[in-house]
Amino acid sequence: MTNHASLIEIAGPDYPVLIDMRYAGPANITGLPIYKRAGCFLNPEAATLLRRAIALAAQIELRLKVFDAFRPTEAAWALWNHNPDPNFLADPRKGSPHSRGAAVDVTLVDAEGREFDMGTDFDAFTPLAFHGSLDITPSQQRNRALLLGIMTAAGWDFYRNEWWHYQLFQPRRYPLLSDAAAGTSMM
């Protein structure tokens, strides 16, 4: 576990999650890598809540897979410049909870690491990705409800348009961080 300018690196064994930082490769909305290094970081409060969510999932023999966490402001601009849709991305001028180390994008996986079917992939910027979408199967709705239950029981708030996005309540009390300010060497 490394501490970078008040951010904590999310890595095993302290954080037994699967890490699949989507913006470090082409499997994201831009089709291109945004991060040069796949670092997974959160601020201390968010890291504590993630630890709680990990423990809750483990009680029912499940794990979390992290797609994104801290997102340097440079990455927020790259995403916004590609798709300036405020329904799915925060305007970088106002700042994202991700750029404060106060948000995490996750899904559930079983003991073998297989992702639960949530009805859409991560970064599916469509109404099908909304937490309350009824245009997915009952099984997919149950999977989303299970993830929502674990994350909210651990103390996270959720963003209604993205089943994968969880954030601290009142994330704007934390400063926006660039890659340089955070010292994460992701960009």
Does residue 162 carry a catalytic annotation?
A: yes
Given its phi and psi angles, is residue 123 left (phi above 0), alpha (psi -120 to 50 degrees) or beta?
left
Among the listed residues 9, 74, 112, 162, the single catalytic one is 162
Active site residues: 162
